[in-house]
Amino acid sequence: MKKRKLWIPGALPGLSVLLNLAGRFWKGFSDFYVKHIFPLWVESFGRLTGALPFSLGEWMLYLAVLLLILLAAGALAKGIMKIFGRRLERFCRLYGRYALFCWWIVGIFSLVMTLNCFLLYQVSPFTERYAPGGAPRKEYGAQEIAALRDYVVENANALSPVFERDERGYILCGQERIGEIKQTAREQMRRLGERFGGLGGYYPAPKGLALSGFYSQQYIMGYYFPFSLEANYNRQMYVTNMPVTMCHELSHLKGFLLEDEANFIGYLACVDAQDPLFCYSAYLSVIGYLDRDFKRAVGWDEETYRSHPEIADQVWADKKFLTQEAWEEVEQKAVLPTETVKAAADTFLDTNLTLNGVSDGTVSYSRVVSLLLWYYDGKLY
């Protein structure tokens, strides 16, 4: 393979490194990029991929795995030929071209991931961009956490009886209803954009993951594919997760990559909707974080905890990832044990977040409590 054929795709990872360094050490660069340049990709390429009836990003991911397998198999075959003294010049030429093609893929992939993912981790925090009247308070105590936790619990408890359910107690939700949820999620995100400018503009319809069972094994509710600019959701998860997950994933298309901020945006997009399922989904998405932090704030004192509103049994029942029947279906079709898949997924996600400056990894998801305390400051306390 001639060097002159290698330097151009080889320069792309180098450019990606330079862009990452600029984003990491110059906050203004990332902020400018997310505000003025990143939306261009969503409005152009994102519209093209959004028009497809399936998740292009998901199938691109599987294709990448296949390409890597073929690359490794070709290298092994080439090595075996050399060991046994066989020369298949045509095979070697074809493999060289294929390796060059893969090298181009690596270069393009590194640049796309930088532009559509890594740089987005380096932008200024949500509170700095949208804090009303200056910087938010830095610390909140047990009194504020209790007020917020009780507010969410009372609203969730009030909503839990309003849904039509089947004989197992599951909220009824057919395919037509899923279509309505997708459309409402887009509308709610656009509405939120009227209050927070960076969230306005075009949103594609969220897409269900074809191999949702595999993502269920990873306990993944949704996925943002940077190389296709698509928001995806797990088709097998319980319906109470769907509204807030769709809005969460759509927020990534506006440059909000930090998971605590996406959780917060998903909550805000859903909590003031006319559809009760969206409101319920919002409350359920944060009730566990709030309840845990409230217990910590009062020193795990049982008497103090019991003096506050109790989370209804139906609310706890509705706060599930998958139904029992869905889990059974996942396990029946699983190729690898769920424990193995989840452990690998957790390691990958933690590593990815840490490398992008999120030092506490997946624990950062729970920082949505701090954002909620900031948002409700002046409203509840």
pLDDT of 132: 54
Residues 238, 275 within the same domain: yes
Residue in the block written with tokens 């969206």: 278
Residues 144, 63 within the same domain: no
pLDDT of 162: 97
pLDDT of 359: 53
Q: Is residue 131 part of a domain?
A: no
Print the domain residue range for 345: 136-375
Question: Which among 164, 174, 111, 136 has a CA at the least distance from the CA of 264?
Answer: 136
Residues 115, 141 within the same domain: no
Q: Is residue 130 part of a domain?
A: no
Asked whether 23 and 119 are in contact (CB, 8 A), the reply is yes
Residues 176, 103 within the same domain: no
Tell which of 87, 122, 157 closes a domain: 122
Residues 109, 155 within the same domain: no
Q: Is residue 260 part of a domain?
A: yes
Residues 110, 155 within the same domain: no
Q: Is residue 127 part of a domain?
A: no
Residues 110, 176 within the same domain: no
**Measured between alpha carbons, how far is 233 from 151 in angstroms, rounded to an integer?**
28
Q: Is residue 128 part of a domain?
A: no
Residues 177, 315 within the same domain: yes
Residues 89, 161 within the same domain: no
Going from the first residue of the chain to its last (381 residues), give the mean pLDDT of each consecutive group of 10, the final group possibly shorter.
61 91 90 95 96 96 92 81 67 83 90 95 89 62 94 98 96 94 98 94 96 95 96 98 98 96 98 97 97 94 96 98 96 85 72 60 65 92 89
- DSSP three-state, residue 208: strand
- Parallel, antiparallel, or unpaired: how do β-strands 222-225 and 207-208 relate? unpaired
With the C-alpha atoms ordered 338, 170, 232, 358, is the resulting torsion angle positive or negative?
Answer: negative
Cβ atoms < 10 Å from Cβ of 56? 17
Tell which of 122, 149, 169 closes a domain: 122
Question: Which among 254, 228, 266 has a CA at the least distance from the CA of 47?
Answer: 228
Q: Is residue 294 part of a domain?
A: yes
Tell which of 78, 94, 122 closes a domain: 122
Residues 249, 337 within the same domain: yes
**Rg of the chain (C-alpha set):** 23
- Report helix angle 276-297 to 368-375, nearest 10: 100
Residues 50, 90 within the same domain: yes
Q: Is residue 129 part of a domain?
A: no
Q: Is residue 62 part of a domain?
A: yes
Number of domains present in the structure of the chain: 2
pTM for the model stands at: 0.89
